[in-house]
């Protein structure tokens, strides 16, 4: 591979041991050190042959300055902050890394589903503050094997969740219009052609779809109206799937849903909202029913290494062999 100059936008400061391991000695790494496209030095952008993007947004103005750049790669899966149209117009391919934390995200979704369904959070609260009966059996607790799990998005992570939940004996339902015919037979779930038809059958729902114009805000009042009363929701996919905290607060307050587990939020970190304040203040009506994680479902030491290595390796594959691994087109 001829010597190339690779920019890294943000998040992981030098010395970039993992990236250097993947790229080899012929790569010069440049740290832009910002999540804001406004802070990127145009003169540095003009010199880059490739750009590795963490959490920064890539705007049309950023792309205008990428005079030498031949590839942009996102660390991770989501690309809603990337101006694909501008990249396409300039002839710069864009790739992501969709397969670095499959096990971790599926494990987190599984843990949230099981914990909320078995009322572990509620029982922890009742044990900590118990008055009267030690064994408080007032909470609704259906048998897990009599429940149905609906999975929205049965790709890599959704399939991994199917495999984890099968041994518990649940009936597993799936909605994913982008999987080929027969996918449900190979993986083992009941497929629904329309989401509206699946929701009334779900005791638990887990989201594993990307954030697109089609899916943005899909978890809204209309979605909840179609959902079976008393269901549990888990979202380890994208925060923007939830239309607003108002929708979730109403559903929890009115007991339309039993509980929710969120690894991702519409706003991260969350600002001030009545639902978030009730969660922070451990208000009685919400205690144990809303679990929030700081967008770390993907994380393990191994997944962190894998994500960084594969992102840099994608650059190397392109320059050495012309391979565009996991290319995303507009």
Please check whether the domain covering 102-292 is classified as CATH 2.70.98.10. Answer: no
Q: What is the pLDDT of residue 122?
A: 87
First to last CA, the chain: 28
SS3 of residue 171 by DSSP = strand
Statement: the pTM of the whole predicted model exceeds 0.85: yes
Nearest alpha-carbon partner for 270 in 298, 290, 250:
290
Cis amide linkage into residue 15, ω under 30° from 0:
yes
Name the pLDDT band for 80 (thresholds 50, 70, 90).
confident
Q: Which two tokens stand for residue 328?
A: 């995303």
Name the pLDDT band for 204 (thresholds 50, 70, 90).
very high
Q: Which residues contact 269 (CB under 8 A, 6 or more apart)?
A: 294
Name the pLDDT band for 330 (thresholds 50, 70, 90).
confident
Pairwise CA distance, residues 198 & 205, whole Å: 10
| Tokens 């750049």, residue located | 69
The pairing of strands 27-31 and 50-53 is: unpaired
4-100+301-328 — its CATH code?
3.40.50.720
Q: Is the pLDDT reported for residue 140 higher than 90? A: no
> How many C-beta atoms lie closer than 10 Å to residue 76's C-beta?
17
Domain boundaries along the sequence of the chain: 4-100+301-328, 102-292
Q: What is the pLDDT of residue 209?
A: 96
Region label for 279, one of left (φ > 0), alpha (ψ between -120 and 50) or beta (otherwise): alpha
Pairwise CA distance, residues 153 & 176, whole Å: 5
Name the pLDDT band for 163 (thresholds 50, 70, 90).
very high
Pairwise CA distance, residues 291 & 163, whole Å: 23
Q: What is the pLDDT of residue 62?
A: 96
Pairwise CA distance, residues 97 & 307, whole Å: 7
Q: Is the pLDDT reported for residue 293 higher than 90? A: yes
Nearest alpha-carbon partner for 206 in 159, 152, 156, 248:
152
Give the residue-averaged pLDDT of 184-188: 97
Q: What is the pLDDT of residue 141?
A: 86
Pairwise CA distance, residues 76 & 97, whole Å: 5
Q: What is the pLDDT of residue 138?
A: 64
pLDDT digits (tens, 9 = 90+) for 214-236: 999 999 999 999 999 999 999 99
Give the residue-averaged pLDDT of 78-106: 95
Catalytic center residues? 238, 268, 295
pLDDT digits (tens, 9 = 90+) for 20-52: 999 999 999 999 999 998 899 999 999 999 999
Pairwise CA distance, residues 236 & 260, whole Å: 11
Report the DSSP beta bridge partners of residue 171.
Answer: 148
Q: What is the pLDDT of residue 230?
A: 94
pLDDT digits (tens, 9 = 90+) for 106-139: 999 999 999 999 999 988 888 888 777 888 776 6
Q: Is the pLDDT reported for residue 59 higher than 90? A: yes
pLDDT digits (tens, 9 = 90+) for 100-109: 999 999 999 9
4-100+301-328 and 102-292, same CATH topology: yes
Count the alpha carbons within 13 Å of 204 in the hemisphere toward its beta carbon.
29
Q: What is the pLDDT of residue 1?
A: 66
Q: Which long-range contacts (CB under 8 A, 24 or more apart) does 53-60 make?
A: 53/9, 53/82, 54/8, 54/9, 54/10, 54/11, 54/12, 55/9, 55/10, 55/11, 55/81, 56/9, 56/10, 56/32, 56/81, 57/81, 57/82, 58/82, 58/83, 58/87, 59/83, 59/86, 60/85, 60/86
Nearest alpha-carbon partner for 79 in 238, 316, 268:
238
> From residue 51, how far is each of 28, 68, 257, 322 by CA, in Å?
12, 10, 43, 16
């Amino acid at each position: 591979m001829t010597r190339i100059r690779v920019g890294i936008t943000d998040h992981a400061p030098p010395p970039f041991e993992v990236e250097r391991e993947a790229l080899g000695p012929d790569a010069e790494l440049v740290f832009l050190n910002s999540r804001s496209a406004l802070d990127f030095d145009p003169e540095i952008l003009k010199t880059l042959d490739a750009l590795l993007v963490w959490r920064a947004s890539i705007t049309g103005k950023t792309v205008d300055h990428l005079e030498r750049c031949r590839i942009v790669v996102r660390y991770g899966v989501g690309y809603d902050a990337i101006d694909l149209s501008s990249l396409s117009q300039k002839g710069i391919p864009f790739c992501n890394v969709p397969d670095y934390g499959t096990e971790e995200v599926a494990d987190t979704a599984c843990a949230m589903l099981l914990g909320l369904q078995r009322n572990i959070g509620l029982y922890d609260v009742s044990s900590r503050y118990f008055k009267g009966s030690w064994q408080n059996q007032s909470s609704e607790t259906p048998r897990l094997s009599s429940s149905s799990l609906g999975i929205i998005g049965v790709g890599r992570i959704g399939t991994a969740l199917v495999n984890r939940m099968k041994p518990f004996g649940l009936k597993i339902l799936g909605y994913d219009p982008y999987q080929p015919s027969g996918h449900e037979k190979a993986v083992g779930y009941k497929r629904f052609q329309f989401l509206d038809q699946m929701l009334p059958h779900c005791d638990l729902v887990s989201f594993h779809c990307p954030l697109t114009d089609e899916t943005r805000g899909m978890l809204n009042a209309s979605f909840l109206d179609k959902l079976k009363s008393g269901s549990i929701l888990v979202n380890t996919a994208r925060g923007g799937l939830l239309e607003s905290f108002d929708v979730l607060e109403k559903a929890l307050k009115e007991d339309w849903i039993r509980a929710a587990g969120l690894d991702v939020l519409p706003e991260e970190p969350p600002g001030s909202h009545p639902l978030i304040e009730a969660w922070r203040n451990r208000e009685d009506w919400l205690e144990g029913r809303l679990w929030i994680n700081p967008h770390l479902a993907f994380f393990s030491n191994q997944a962190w290494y894998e994500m960084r290595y594969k992102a840099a390796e994608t650059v190397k594959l392109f320059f050495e062999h012309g391979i565009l691994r996991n290319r995303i087109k507009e």
